Amino acid sequence: MSAQAAGGGGASEFSARQARSPLIVALDTDDPRRLADLAGAVGPHVGLLKVGLQAFTALGPAAVATARRHAPVFCDLKLHDIPNTVAGAAAAAARMGIAMLTVHASGGPAMIAAACKAAPDTTILAVTVLTSLDDADLAGVGQPPVAEQVVRLAGMAAEAGAGGIVCAPGDVAAVRGVVGNALAVVVPGIRPDRPDHPLRPGDDDQRRVADPRTALRAGASHLVVGRPVTQAADPAATAAALLAEIA
C-alpha cells in the first residue's frame, strides 16, 4: 500500500493537518495570481490543497509549488494509461513533493500497482466513478450501475495496493464495507447545505452530492470542496465556517 507522503513542510505536517482538518479545497483556476491568492486564503483551514487538471495543464509544476507554500498538495491528475506510462507520470509527480495523486481505478490492477511502486511515498488514490455520472451514463458506455461498479473498482484497487479510494458521498458506506478502515476515502461532490453558499445540491454538473456531515458520518476521511468555497465572496471565511460546522 502506498504511504502518505510529505507535502508542504513534510510528512509530519501532513499527518498533523489531516488530523486537524478533513477539508481539501480545489484550486481550480488557470490564473497563477488567483491560485496563489486562494491557496493563501484557505490554506490555514485545510488538510490539503488540490491542484487539478485545469491548474496543472496551464501552470504545470509551478501550480504545485505555489500550493505547497500553504499546505500539502493533492495532485488530482486522474492518470489512466498503460502501466509503464502511468508509472513514469506517477514518479514525476511524486518528485514535486505531493502528498496524494489520483489514478483511474478503471485502468486496472496492473496500472494501479505500477503507480504505487513508482511513487511509494505518495498516497495513490483510485477514482471509482465520477460524481458527474449516474446509472444512465454508465449504461451508455456498457458499464454496470454505479453502486455495483464503485464497489467492484474499490475492491480491486485496494487489492492492487492503492492507498485510498475516491467516490461519491452516497457510495462511502459501501466502499468502507469493502476496503475497511485502513484506506483513505476521499469524497468530492460536497455541497454545504447552507443558503449562503454559491452552489447547492442540484445546481451544477455534479449529480451525486451530499453535505459534509453526511459524508463524514458515512466514513469519509477527506472532503473535497471546490466552488462552494472558491466562488464565495470570502473564501477564507467560508472555509473556516465549513470546518467549524463539521468539527
Catalytic residue numbers read: 78
Task: Please name which of 177, 165, 169, 16 lies closest in space to residue 100, comparing C-alpha atoms.
Answer: 165
- Residue 104 has φ and ψ, to the nearest 5°, of -80, 125
* Residue 24, strand partner residues: 48, 224
Task: Please name which of 139, 97, 148, 132 lies closest in space to residue 226, comparing C-alpha atoms.
Answer: 132
Could you tell me where the beta strands, DSSP code E, fall in 42-107? 48-51, 73-79, 100-104
Q: Are 122 and 91 in contact (CB under 8 A)?
A: no
Task: Please name which of 118, 127, 122, 108 lies closest in space to residue 84, comparing C-alpha atoms.
Answer: 118
DSSP 8-state code for residue 43 = G
What would the grid cell of residue 34 be?
488567483
Q: Are 171 and 150 in contact (CB under 8 A)?
A: yes
Q: Which residues are CB-contacts of 205 (< 8 A; sequence separation ≥ 6)?
A: 132
Handedness of CA 119, 125, 127, 130 (dihedral sign): negative
